[in-house]
Amino acid sequence: MTQGIKIVTIGGGSSYTPELVEGFIKRYNELPIRELWLVDIEAGKEKLQIVGDLAKRMIEKAGLPIEVHLTLDRRSALKDADFVTTQFRVGLLDARAKDERIPLSHGVLGQETNGPGGLFKGLRTIPVILDIVKDIKELCPDAWLINFTNPAGMVTEAVLRYSDHKKIVGLCNVPIGIEMGIAKLLDVDHSRIRIDFAGLNHMVYGLDVYVDGISVKDKVIELLSNPENSSFVKNVEGQGWEPEFIRSLNALTCPYHLYYYKTDEMLKKELKNYNEGTTRAEVVKKLEDELFELYKDPNLAIKPPQLEQRGGAYYSDAAVRLISSIYNDKRDIQPVNTINNGAIASIPYDSAVEVSCVITKEGPKPIINGDLPVAVRGLVQQIKSFERVSAEAAVTGNYDTALLAMTINPLVPSDKVGKEILDEMLEAHKEHLPNFFSKVEA
Amino acid sequence: MTQGIKIVTIGGGSSYTPELVEGFIKRYNELPIRELWLVDIEAGKEKLQIVGDLAKRMIEKAGLPIEVHLTLDRRSALKDADFVTTQFRVGLLDARAKDERIPLSHGVLGQETNGPGGLFKGLRTIPVILDIVKDIKELCPDAWLINFTNPAGMVTEAVLRYSDHKKIVGLCNVPIGIEMGIAKLLDVDHSRIRIDFAGLNHMVYGLDVYVDGISVKDKVIELLSNPENSSFVKNVEGQGWEPEFIRSLNALTCPYHLYYYKTDEMLKKELKNYNEGTTRAEVVKKLEDELFELYKDPNLAIKPPQLEQRGGAYYSDAAVRLISSIYNDKRDIQPVNTINNGAIASIPYDSAVEVSCVITKEGPKPIINGDLPVAVRGLVQQIKSFERVSAEAAVTGNYDTALLAMTINPLVPSDKVGKEILDEMLEAHKEHLPNFFSKVEA
Amino acid sequence: MTQGIKIVTIGGGSSYTPELVEGFIKRYNELPIRELWLVDIEAGKEKLQIVGDLAKRMIEKAGLPIEVHLTLDRRSALKDADFVTTQFRVGLLDARAKDERIPLSHGVLGQETNGPGGLFKGLRTIPVILDIVKDIKELCPDAWLINFTNPAGMVTEAVLRYSDHKKIVGLCNVPIGIEMGIAKLLDVDHSRIRIDFAGLNHMVYGLDVYVDGISVKDKVIELLSNPENSSFVKNVEGQGWEPEFIRSLNALTCPYHLYYYKTDEMLKKELKNYNEGTTRAEVVKKLEDELFELYKDPNLAIKPPQLEQRGGAYYSDAAVRLISSIYNDKRDIQPVNTINNGAIASIPYDSAVEVSCVITKEGPKPIINGDLPVAVRGLVQQIKSFERVSAEAAVTGNYDTALLAMTINPLVPSDKVGKEILDEMLEAHKEHLPNFFSKVEA
Amino acid sequence: MTQGIKIVTIGGGSSYTPELVEGFIKRYNELPIRELWLVDIEAGKEKLQIVGDLAKRMIEKAGLPIEVHLTLDRRSALKDADFVTTQFRVGLLDARAKDERIPLSHGVLGQETNGPGGLFKGLRTIPVILDIVKDIKELCPDAWLINFTNPAGMVTEAVLRYSDHKKIVGLCNVPIGIEMGIAKLLDVDHSRIRIDFAGLNHMVYGLDVYVDGISVKDKVIELLSNPENSSFVKNVEGQGWEPEFIRSLNALTCPYHLYYYKTDEMLKKELKNYNEGTTRAEVVKKLEDELFELYKDPNLAIKPPQLEQRGGAYYSDAAVRLISSIYNDKRDIQPVNTINNGAIASIPYDSAVEVSCVITKEGPKPIINGDLPVAVRGLVQQIKSFERVSAEAAVTGNYDTALLAMTINPLVPSDKVGKEILDEMLEAHKEHLPNFFSKVEA
């Protein structure tokens, strides 16, 4: 390894990039980055330039010797990389808007990660990530792939199952958000909190929670049974659980559980957004436009505070602490998506899980916390089945498999409605689904 | 063992009893019953008398030396029994009507076995069956308990988990109905068909289907992808699967899958019934009244053909062939509910499953057919989680646990609606839920 | 399928063949064989002719229209076969003599199936069987391979793991021998006995034993605790277990357990044979010479009774009843070697086990009998580890892997002695181990 | 919790105690001990006084405010303890001498932990530890029991299986010894080494080894294939592995593996010791006598360097770093004996394993490192079977179960020899086996 670290960020033109750059700057002393390559595609060229220029200004202001490279040539960027981060969005926010709006037009939640929208996000993303992985195998086989691209669970599952590059970690800001929320709820510093996380991406539970190593789970559950305390995590608006429900569930939930344990209320809310043109994609798009206006300002050399509304809170923290722990063999505990290998008995041995891991230089190693509570195993398995069938559909481009994935999704009411949504979405996303359409044409 | 077999039927006043009696008569040569005890409770005294008299006439007409005993004294009946069959209904059809109508009044399917209705049927039934099992342990510890009482999966789970009487088999007419339907579809005699069944009660899949030992699964799936062929099983009106869905599912479904893979259509249909006063309980109630009128006829000495509309088609066949195979150590293959022990890898080792078994004198032994397809594991796990949490609620009488069971049921849209349904149903079934209300009062 | 069955027997010149032919004759009415192809290699040409002529005389005498073909051309024989049976011995009895004598010369039991001798028998046999399987895949892909060639467990494991032909059943006469012995001990007809077998080939336990479907295990264990009753199985001379040992083991053993639970006594006995030139291979060789003299007699048209001393008692019964049950989809229960798939929880899911199965036209399906008793899991796992590492050594021709297999064998006292035996045996069997020596030369 | 920690050491009169005291002194700043209670039994009163006086002098010299209490009253000591350490030896070294010498007199290795000697050490120890655990449950239910008493794996298994106190950690100095040895071999500081340990106590393997987080396993295996490097761990004299064996094993071994992979050589060596009166117990006894002479010296106020020859090297380090990591919620990685819960797939879920764990205030949590290599699973299972059956024998006092444990031990050649050894050892240890003999008398 040459002196210093080479990091490649695919989807470098993302509005999140300043987050990441800020994180790299803050931890430079433990993570001496030599080169940061921001990679994007032709369609994202302009954004890449804007974000890249901001990144350069930020680094210059910090007085650090990090070289920032902007490129559309992924392969030249990957050569000898130490870490590759992926945060791209195939089809951009327009695609997300379709992922959300088409299902809603059928009275079904889109849910861009574990719902029908997530299926399509997976269908678009998985072939691309497998392509990137092929390049990594060739050009930087020792590099760790840190994937932020959603649906992060499905993507991690697909890479583990359909490639032979095992150095992938799926990363999400939901667990760190829960930690932060609980810390605030208990009014203690975040560093004193530890949660035993187990489950899947966006379907993760906190099996226990500690302050200074002592379980405070009972207290936290009691606090959460007060509806006023439940909206502690941003991004998805919190709604209170029925006190008796959360008590008997006896585990911390994540915001995405609302889609499954409060399906009717979420649907009502999102249908309202649908009608008002304020679905998440639409809101985010507006935010992004504003952000890029800010980023253009040649006097801006810090991450603008407005970025926090974007929803990626703590992404930077989560990402940089993970990379640093791998690089420095810190052996601290972080929740990430990795191969199960028995950590959760009721999930297949070779599947991706989101679980508390010790982070070593050789990557994350899951910690055993016992099995999931009986009551949640069903829903978790259902999402896992959905992830696996979706990943298979993405790789094979098989229509029937895609319909199977759609129908078994817990948010979809029937094979018939599933087929209607599927057909409409396939058509809408046609240009980003070559696996499906090249075959049809052939 | 004294010469001949002693069979005790709890819930003997059921309208199904003539089915069973007919079965015993037909197979008397291989199943020499000495005594048949029909047991019921005070509230069912009149029906017991009517059905019992018919049973006596049927046996007399057949010229067989089977003694029929009618009694309200369960314990004296159980003494030294060889087989105990249970087909009782706590709260009778009125309770079932509530199980169906209360959820529907909240826009939710009741589904009397695996839905909210099934939860309440379980809450009413499980304490009674555990009581019966206690008597069996004392009075006839070597007897096999053949349980037909729904929800048969949850009841079997509860007995396996909360009693130490392991000689229980849960029996359902759904698998035999599927066999019959497939035989008709293929136009071959039923005896030539064998299906590898695996799953849970009312959530069972056919993993393969054979004619004369040769797999015809591809042909059957193709036939089932034609909507005209799909309504092959009575009881729940068949609706066609989307052809691409059934092809990619690549397994035979049971009628109850409609509740999960066609939730919206089933709900629509049942809401119509709800409004017209023609829910299943209401229809069945009318049927039963008519049946009992028929049964009263002192000239009737056979099972009246009208019974077939009752929905218990093949129950007699299923029950008597099971009892005979145990009694005669036939080692033939039958689908029943029993302890998993690894037959289905993705279901807990010690849980009840519905699976093809070799039936020996020592009871059913599951056959290994490989694991469930990935796509169905989620839904199966969800029902298993529901069954386990429901059984726990029934045993403990814990309100929070009951709410947890209700909320994790895939038909229930939220903890809030779940709580509303729960509260209303608890109140409606109050008299049959001593575990819940004695505690409240205490 | 043409009318009638085509059976191919590889190693057709074996002295066992008349057994098999007798079996085919006896069951002709249920197993209408059209063609029986006896295949052997150049070195076995003469024996093939002798045995083949006897087979023809036997069939002629029985008046059956079975064509017998003798050939050295395996591929032409395999074309369109329905069943292939393998009973060959690479290196003939001379090789077996080395398998037994070389370890003994180092004070170590050879044990031609699960010991050092078994390792070498596996190293010689597995490449050949994988070659045969390749031909089967090409020439008769629907044929069932019924393998009698030892070490049958290791061979089945190797085919399951290193080929994609899954239609293999490993067959052994040990379980049927135990059934016969127990029947005799209890003085009941064999047909009334059923034993729940579970374990590995030559390491199989009887977990329960039934007469007419009723467990008589306690009685049998008590009988077996009387040393006079323990020598009920031929082939390996029976020695009595310590009564307290067999009682606490609480399972039926097979004769090969003597090598592990009475290692010292078996070693003493075999060292005596070694010194006197009466090891099993030497005894069998003499027996075989005598048998072939008998077979040559043109007046002989039945299986000579002397064959029974050869050690393959009941092979014919076991083999022909298996083939018939597959052919006729009998769904009866037989103990065979097949893929585990969860039948025995403590053995890997994808490994070969010897276990009671329902025999269907689609092959054997294991029956669940619960897990192995804790006390025997260790030894069973040890043989399974040995089988898997041995199979890997056979396929790769890797010296280190072969040494690993040798050293982890429970009969081998150390890596050092293991290496001495290994080196000497590799040299002695050089001509039959091309995987090892072609590499060395290259 | 009162200010400061209360530690109770049962078997406080052990010659190891000064090790422990030295460790407590060294880490006082992170582990502020308020009270150290040394507990022993009447027979150990004198030694307790000698060791206790030395401990007091050591602490006084260090100028620390730790109160040292010496007592024969276990229950008063346990009251409100924070940590309980157990290092007692039922029957003292005389019993160990019998554990070693009686088997050797039958030509069998005694092996005081996983061999016949270990069985008897377990039979003597387990009832006592279960008694202590009962007191802990009553008097200090939140205390962690840190057990050093051998056989530590069997003892941990017994407490997990036969008590409801789950706060037990079994600790051994073997893994830390391996770490130290490897550090020396690689000439790097111990703190830079990490090993993925997995297996059972005294049957533990190093699945990977890292320097600064980078795997150096290949290099270490290569070094270990040089016999000169293999004797890196004290206590059991190292002998070189055959290079090809250790390469194909491809895992680090522990010294106790010599008993299984070099049984013949170990037996030869120990028979020599037996004849010369220099078995380990005899050597240790002499060492202990000398140590106690040293301890008596009122001028001695440090751990005398001679203690290192005693064999407990690093015990102090291992013990104190474990206690400190629990107390301080350090979340560092240490190899200990705890419940498996899926960490090693091929070992039962609820069994004790020795495995790398994250040490938290809530105790050790195993890290997933994948399953054991196929080649070692058999031997590991065999010791696990032995541990479980031995623990059952200890609890039940059942003779047959004890014979079963003895016979399935891989060092015992037959049930017959096993019975001879068992009978002789039962007689020799009679006074310490009330479970066995009270029953006989009753």
Identify all chain D residues contacting A333, using CB atoms and an 8 Å cutoff: 331, 358
Q: Of B215, B191, B85, nearest to B140 (Cα)?
A: B85
Question: Which of A248, A383, A389 comes nearest B375 by C-beta?
Answer: A389
To probe the interface with C, which of D242, D386, D409 has the most C CB atoms within 10 Å? D242
In percent, how much of chain A has pLDDT > 70?
Answer: 96
Provide the token pair at D195: 């090993």
Identify all chain A residues contacting B264, using CB atoms and an 8 Å cutoff: 413-414, 417
In angstroms, rounded to a whole number, what is the distance separating the alpha carbons of residues D277 and D300?
A: 31
Burial class (CB in 10 A: 0-12, 13-18, 19+), D222: middle
What's CA C302's distance to the chain center, in Å?
24
B32-68: string of b/e by CB count within 10 Å (b at 16+)? Answer: ebebbbbbbeeebeebbebbbbbbbbbbeebeeebeb
In angstroms, rounded to a whole number, what is the distance separating the alpha carbons of residues B40 and B44?
A: 6
Positions at the binding site of A for substrate: 96, 150
Question: Which of C249, C378, C415 comes nearest D382 by C-beta?
Answer: C378
pLDDT at residue D234 in the model: 44
To probe the interface with B, which of C368, C369, C371, C372 has the most B CB atoms within 10 Å? C368
Coil, strand or helix: which one is A261?
Answer: helix
- CA angle centred on D31, ends D36 and D160, rounded to 5°: 70
Q: Which residue of D has its CA nearest to C404?
A: D245
To the question of domain A1-170+260-356+374-442 being in CATH 3.30.70.3150, the answer is: no
Q: Cβ–Cβ of C343/B368 closer than 8 Å?
A: yes
In angstroms, rounded to a whole number, what is the distance separating the alpha carbons of residues B203 and A378?
A: 14
pLDDT at residue B179 in the model: 93
The phi, psi pair for A56, rounded to 5°, reads -60, -40
Q: Cβ–Cβ of D368/A367 closer than 8 Å?
A: yes
Q: Is the pLDDT of residue C47 over 80?
A: yes
DSSP states of B299-343: T--S--GGGGGGS-TTHHHHHHHHHHHHHTT--EEEEEEEE-TTS
In angstroms, rounded to a whole number, what is the distance separating the alpha carbons of residues A160 and A152?
A: 12
pLDDT at residue B306 in the model: 82
Q: Which residues pair with B7 in a beta bridge?
A: B36, B83
Chain C positions with Cβ closer than 8 Å to B:
194, 208, 210, 212-215, 328-329, 331-333, 341-345, 349, 358, 360-362, 365-371
Shortest distance, CA D223 to any CA of chain A (angstroms): 22
- Dihedral of CA atoms D94, D96, D97, D100 in degrees, nearest 10, equals 160
Provide the token pair at D401: 């179960």
A237-276: string of b/e by CB count within 10 Å (b at 16+)? Answer: ebbbbbbbbbbbbbbbbbbbbbbbbbbebbbebbbebbee
Question: Which of A210, A328, A329 comes nearest D362 by C-beta?
Answer: A210
Over the stretch A180-212, which tens digit does the pLDDT of each residue have?
999 999 999 999 999 999 999 999 999 999 999
Q: What is the helix (H) or strand (E) element at residue C211, kind and residue range?
A: strand C203-211
Residue C96 assigned as binding residue = yes
Q: Which residue of D has its CA nearest to A209?
A: D362
In D4-139, which ranges are continuous DSSP H helix? Answer: 17-26, 45-62, 74-78, 92-105, 116-139
Pairing of strands A33-39, A5-10: parallel
Q: Which residues pair with C337 in a beta bridge?
A: C170, C354
In angstroms, rounded to a whole number, what is the distance separating the alpha carbons of residues B125 and B153?
A: 12
Radius of gyration of chain A (CA): 21
Identify all chain A residues contacting D368, using CB atoms and an 8 Å cutoff: 341-343, 365-368
In angstroms, rounded to a whole number, what is the distance separating the alpha carbons of residues D424 and C61?
A: 65
To probe the interface with C, which of B194, B218, B328, B368 has the most C CB atoms within 10 Å? B368
Identify all chain B residues contacting C349, using CB atoms and an 8 Å cutoff: 345
B93-103: string of b/e by CB count within 10 Å (b at 16+)? Answer: bebbbbbbbbb
Q: How many interface pairs between A and B have CB atoms less than 8 angstroms apart?
A: 141
Q: Which chains touch D (3 or more CB pairs under 8 A)?
A: A, C
Q: Which chains touch A (3 or more CB pairs under 8 A)?
A: B, D
Strands (E), B62-202: 67-71, 83-86, 144-147, 168-170, 193-200
Coil, strand or helix: which one is A365?
Answer: strand
Q: Provide the CB-side half-sphere exposure for A185 (13 A, CA).
A: 27
Over the stretch C236-254, which tens digit does the pLDDT of each residue have?
455 689 999 999 999 999 9
Coil, strand or helix: which one is C335?
Answer: strand
Q: Cβ–Cβ of A398/B262 closer than 8 Å?
A: no
Q: Cβ–Cβ of A368/D369 closer than 8 Å?
A: no
Q: Which residue of D has its CA nearest to C371?
A: D348
Identify all chain D residues contacting C399, using CB atoms and an 8 Å cutoff: 244
Q: How many interface pairs between B and C have CB atoms less than 8 angstroms apart?
A: 80
- Beta-carbon contacts of C227 under 8 Å, excluding residues fewer than 6 positions away, are C239, C240, C241, C243
* pLDDT band at C315; cut points 50, 70, 90: confident
Q: Cβ–Cβ of D213/A332 closer than 8 Å?
A: no
Q: Which residues pair with C414 in a beta bridge?
A: D262
Shortest distance, CA C9 to any CA of chain D (angstroms): 34
Q: Which residue of C has its CA nearest to D243?
A: C400
Over the stretch B306-339, which tens digit does the pLDDT of each residue have?
887 776 678 888 999 999 999 999 999 999 999 9
To probe the interface with C, which of D221, D267, D407, D421 has the most C CB atoms within 10 Å? D407
Identify all chain C residues contacting B1, using CB atoms and an 8 Å cutoff: none
Identify whether the C-beta of residue A182 lies closer than 8 Å to the C-beta of residue A188: no
Q: Of B283, B15, B333, B327, nearest to B148 (Cα)?
A: B15
Over the stretch D107-146, which tens digit does the pLDDT of each residue have?
999 999 999 999 999 999 999 999 999 999 999 999 999 9
Dihedral angle sign, alpha carbons of residues C347, C353, C359, C360: positive
Identify all chain B residues contacting A257, using CB atoms and an 8 Å cutoff: none
Q: Cβ–Cβ of C210/B360 closer than 8 Å?
A: yes
Q: Which residues of A are catalytic?
A: 256
Over the stretch D213-227, which tens digit does the pLDDT of each residue have?
999 999 999 999 887
- Helix, strand, coil % (nearest 5) of chain B? 55, 15, 30
DSSP states of B112-128: TTTSHHHHHHHHHHHHH
Strands (E), D116-272: 144-147, 168-170, 193-200, 203-211, 214-215
In angstroms, rounded to a whole number, what is the distance separating the alpha carbons of residues A389 and A402?
A: 7
Shortest distance, CA D385 to any CA of chain C (angstroms): 5
HEC-encoded secondary structure of A302-324: CCCHHHHHHCCCCHHHHHHHHHH
Residue B96 assigned as binding residue = yes
Q: According to CATH, where is 3.40.50.720 located in chain A?
A: 1-170+260-356+374-442
Residue B140 assigned as binding residue = no
Q: Provide the CB-side half-sphere exposure for A359 (13 A, CA).
A: 26
Amino acid at position B189, single letter = D
Q: Provide the CB-side half-sphere exposure for A209 (13 A, CA).
A: 29
Identify all chain C residues contacting D378, using CB atoms and an 8 Å cutoff: 378-379, 381-386, 408, 410
DSSP B418: H
Question: Which of C208, C210, C333 comes nearest B358 by C-beta?
Answer: C333
Dihedral angle sign, alpha carbons of residues B66, B71, B74, B80: negative
Q: Which residue of B has its CA nearest to C209?
A: B362
In angstroms, rounded to a whole number, what is the distance separating the alpha carbons of residues C174 and C82?
A: 25
DSSP A383: H
Q: Which residue of B has its CA nearest to C367?
A: B367
Residue with tokens 């974000």: A51
Radius of gyration of chain D (CA): 21
Identify all chain D residues contacting A345, using CB atoms and an 8 Å cutoff: 341-342, 349
- Beta-carbon contacts of D436 under 8 Å, excluding residues fewer than 6 positions away, are D123, D397, D399, D402, D426
Shortest distance, CA D439 to any CA of chain C (angstroms): 17
Identify whether the C-beta of residue B318 lies closer than 8 Å to the C-beta of residue B23: no
Burial class (CB in 10 A: 0-12, 13-18, 19+), D332: middle
Shortest distance, CA B187 to any CA of chain A (angstroms): 28
DSSP states of D109-142: ---TTTSHHHHHHHHHHHHHHHHHHHHHHHH-TT
Q: What tens-digit pLDDT sequence spans chain B (442 residues)?
A: 458 999 999 999 999 999 999 999 999 999 999 999 999 999 999 999 999 999 999 999 999 999 999 999 999 999 999 999 999 999 989 999 999 999 999 999 999 999 999 999 999 999 999 999 999 999 999 999 999 999 999 999 999 999 999 999 999 999 999 999 999 999 999 999 999 999 999 999 999 999 999 999 999 999 998 877 765 554 445 568 999 999 999 999 999 999 999 999 999 999 999 999 999 899 989 999 999 999 999 999 998 888 877 766 788 889 999 999 999 999 999 999 999 999 999 999 999 999 999 999 999 999 998 899 999 999 999 999 999 999 999 999 999 999 999 999 999 999 999 999 999 999 999 999 999 997 544 4
Shortest distance, CA B153 to any CA of chain C (angstroms): 19
Residues in chain D: 442
DSSP states of B181-229: HHHHHHTS-GGGEEEEEEEETTEEEEEEEEETTEE-HHHHHHHHTSGGG
Has D259 been annotated as catalytic? no
- Domain C5-92+113-170+284-313, CATH class in plain words: alpha beta
- CA angle centred on B88, ends B82 and B91, rounded to 5°: 155
Q: Of B159, B135, B125, nearest to B84 (Cα)?
A: B135
In angstroms, rounded to a whole number, what is the distance separating the alpha carbons of residues D62 and D65?
A: 9
In angstroms, rounded to a whole number, what is the distance separating the alpha carbons of residues A432 and A436?
A: 9
Q: Cβ–Cβ of C341/B370 closer than 8 Å?
A: yes
Q: Which residue of D has its CA nearest to C376?
A: D385
In angstroms, rounded to a whole number, what is the distance separating the alpha carbons of residues C179 and C188?
A: 11
Identify whether the C-beta of residue C108 lies closer than 8 Å to the C-beta of residue C413: yes
Question: Which of C262, C377, C404 comes nearest D415 by C-beta?
Answer: C262
Identify whether the C-beta of residue D334 lies closer than 8 Å to the C-beta of residue D359: yes
Q: According to CATH, where is 3.40.50.720 located in chain C?
A: 5-92+113-170+284-313
Identify all chain B residues contacting C365, using CB atoms and an 8 Å cutoff: 367-369
* pLDDT band at C1; cut points 50, 70, 90: very low
The verdict on ipTM greater than 0.90 is yes
- The mean predicted confidence, pLDDT, of chain C is 93
**Checking phi first, is residue A397 left (phi over 0); if not, alpha (psi -120 to 50) or beta?**
left
Dihedral angle sign, alpha carbons of residues A360, A366, A369, A372: positive
Over the stretch A241-251, which tens digit does the pLDDT of each residue have?
999 999 999 99
Of the CATH numbers 3.40.190.10, 3.40.1280.10, 3.90.110.10, 3.60.15.10, which one belongs to the domain with range D82-278+311-435? 3.90.110.10
Over the stretch B168-202, which tens digit does the pLDDT of each residue have?
999 999 999 999 999 999 999 999 999 999 999 99
Q: Cβ–Cβ of A245/B378 closer than 8 Å?
A: no
Q: Which chains touch C (3 or more CB pairs under 8 A)?
A: B, D
Q: Cβ–Cβ of C361/B333 closer than 8 Å?
A: no
Q: Provide the CB-side half-sphere exposure for A173 (13 A, CA).
A: 24
